[in-house]
Amino acid sequence: MNALATAVGLVFDPYNLLVMLLASLYGLFVGAVPGLTATMATALLVPVTFFMAPIPAIAAIVTATAMAIFSGDIPGCLLRMPGTPASAAYTDEAYAMTRKGQAEIALGAGLVFSAVGGLFGTAVLIVSAPALAEFALKFSSFEYFWLVLLGLTCAIVMTAERPLKGMVTLLLGLLVACVGLGNPAGFPRFTFGSVELTGGIGMIPMMIGMFAVSEIIRFAVDIAPKALIVDQPIHNVFKGMWGLTKKYPMQILRGSALGTLVGALPGAGADIAAWMSYAISKKMSKEPEKFGTGHVEGIVESGSANNSALAGAWIPALVFGIPGDSITAIVIGVLYMKNMNPGPTLFTQNPQNIYAVYLLFILANLIMIPLGWWCIKVSKQILKVPRNILMPVILLFCIVGTYAINNTPFDIGVMLVAGVVAYVLEENGFPIAPAILGVVLGGMLEENLVTSMIKSDGNVAAFFGRPIAATLGVLTLAAWFLPPVIRRLRQAAGA
């Protein structure tokens, strides 16, 4: 209880509350501008949080991302352009509602059920994370090795339409993690005599490059014509929300639960949660023929799914240090910088920090309702902000922010290369999320692999010697080999 009191003190500190308010406004703005994503918001926050205490730093990220995922719905509704990829699943639906004159209901449903989904995900986080942490205390290097490998496998299976391309970016990410002295033998790998490279390739410059610089490049070469804002007066967005809650309780619950689960699975985040949820909503609906014509049901379900995914992604990130999505991949980097290394000991040694994270999530999702309502009110002004002024300013901010982490121009070069590579890869259908996961988890995978090999004296059977390790190992191998086998069997049966 003492820890809880400390946590309350940390969260309701005036400085922290001010950080949350500013982060909210920032998140709402970033989410509402098409082309700026929630992941980009997080990456741009890192240079600033670098100079904060741990709890305000986490508060800034939690609040900004929750707001951004909600406000991504706004341009989807008014411009038919998703503000963040997490809103893309139901952008056409929301726009169709606006055309029917129901923009208020679409925006209101996005706001209210975003908050509901976020709170649901938080509840699951609060209940499951400590239990998992207790379980994880028994883990040795064998279990961690399989867990990381299983997480990486998930990332490929979940995100890529073509697993081969996901595999490629994963391998490239893991190889990037190999650069430098940071390996179990302390041997300088792939440094080519460069002093800068002995420290490895910085994760933060890479993230800023992959998520911010690549988006700026995409904007600069975008040849699509400008979209027009639908001019429609928006009055009370909360009207009828209680009615929707009573009409679609099952949808809200299903969306939130699926979102949390997808979020917790490594590699898949809010955007995939929304797509899956929208598809399920349509499939299970009593009136599937209305989907696509401006029907609110799918927005209720997938709008809650993408926000619950945000909280879900923190479960494996806090307990195992395995990020559930690309936002928590950045968060893990921040946690290490703040000496809050993720893992089960975080729950036993610093419970006040964990309680504070729970409180931050609850608070962020609650203040989303008034602030989001205000954001909808001023959305037309936000959507008028000229992006040809915004993007260059963000680029200069990226440059200076990247430099701020280690005060070396080398990191700016890393950022640029990462941005261009990410842009080219994505243009050619290679998913980026597995690469990020590879970079974040490469060190952990290798450390546990080498430790296990040394412990077992090179005996591979030892990887299946403990019950949990064996289970995780079988699961991982099944995820690798079952899908192709099933495909073959189906083909054989069909032929």
Partner 1 sequence: MKISDAIFGAVLLLLGVAILVHVQSFPKIPGQQVGPGLMPGTLSVGLVVCGVLLVVSGWRKRATEPWTETADWMRSGRHLLAFVAIVGGVAAYVWLAQPLGLLVVGPVLLFAWFVILGVRPLPAAAIAVVAALVIWFAFYKLLRVPLPWGVLTRFAF
Residue numbers of the site for partner 1 (CB under 8 A)?
A: 47-48, 50-51, 164, 167-168, 171-172, 174-175, 178, 183-185, 187, 189-190, 213, 216-217, 220-223, 386, 388-389, 391-393, 395-397, 399-401, 403-404, 407, 409, 412-413, 415-416, 419-420, 424, 427-428, 430, 442, 445-446, 449-450, 453-454, 457-458
Closer Cβ to partner 1, 185 or 195, answer by number: 185
Burial class (CB in 10 A: 0-12, 13-18, 19+), 279: middle
Closer Cβ to partner 1, 2 or 407, answer by number: 407
Closer Cβ to partner 1, 219 or 278, answer by number: 219
Closer Cβ to partner 1, 138 or 487, answer by number: 487
| Residue 134 in tokens | 């207790």
Ranges of H-type helices in 179-296 = 195-198, 203-208, 214-220, 241-247, 249-264, 270-284
User: Which residues pair with residue 312 across a beta bridge?
Assistant: none
Closer Cβ to partner 1, 208 or 360, answer by number: 208
How far apart (Å, rounded) are the C-alpha atoms in residues 299 and 51?
38
- The answer to whether 219 and 391 are in contact (CB under 8 A) is yes
How far apart (Å, rounded) are the C-alpha atoms in residues 235 and 342?
44
Closest separation in Å from C-beta 437 to partner 1? 14
Closest separation in Å from C-beta 184 to partner 1? 7
Closest separation in Å from C-beta 159 to partner 1? 16
For CA atoms 484, 485, 487, 491, give the dihedral sign: positive
Ranges of H-type helices in 72-182 = 73-79, 91-99, 103-136, 141-159, 163-178
Closer Cβ to partner 1, 301 or 446, answer by number: 446
- The answer to whether 35 and 386 are in contact (CB under 8 A) is no
Summarize the chain as % helix, strand, coil (round to 5).
75, 0, 20
Residues 6+ apart with CB under 8 A from 51: none
Closer Cβ to partner 1, 187 or 283, answer by number: 187
Give the length of the chain: 495
Closest separation in Å from C-beta 92 to partner 1? 23
Closest separation in Å from C-beta 65 to partner 1? 21
Closest separation in Å from C-beta 362 to partner 1? 29
Closer Cβ to partner 1, 312 or 473, answer by number: 473
Closest separation in Å from C-beta 483 to partner 1? 15
441 closest CA partner among 149, 187, 227: 149
Closest separation in Å from C-beta 146 to partner 1? 15
